[in-house]
């Protein structure tokens, strides 16, 4: 018999981890959103955090400021 409380705790734990990851992504992104061109110039593979705006809106840099 599976304990329903344990299942609930596992689900909550998973959501908490996802939320913490999201916060980390926002914290690691710089104030200015790196554009695709800048990412290519710095020869750094664009990470998830590279294209996240600081406000967490999920706006891609390419949508905002395409050369």
Is the CB of residue 52 less than 8 Å from the CB of residue 26?
yes
pLDDT at 6: 72
Give the model confidence (pLDDT) of 5-64 as tens digits. Answer: 777 777 767 666 666 665 555 555 554 455 666 666 665 555 555 444 444 444 455 544
For 29, 56, 63, 65, 67, the CA distances from 37, given in Å and listed in that order, are: 16, 21, 13, 10, 8
**CA 30, CA 12: separation in Å to the nearest integer?**
29
pLDDT at 5: 73
Q: How many domains does the chain have?
A: 1
- Please give the residue range of the domain that contains residue 14: 4-64
């Amino acid at each position: 018999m599976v304990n329903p409380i344990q299942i609930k705790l596992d689900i909550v734990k998973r959501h908490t981890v996802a939320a913490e990851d999201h916060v980390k992504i926002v914290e690691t992104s710089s104030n200015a959103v790196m554009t695709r061109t800048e990412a290519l110039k710095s020869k750094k593979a664009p990470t998830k955090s590279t294209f996240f705006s600081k406000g967490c809106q999920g706006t891609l840099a390419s949508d905002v400021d395409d050369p």
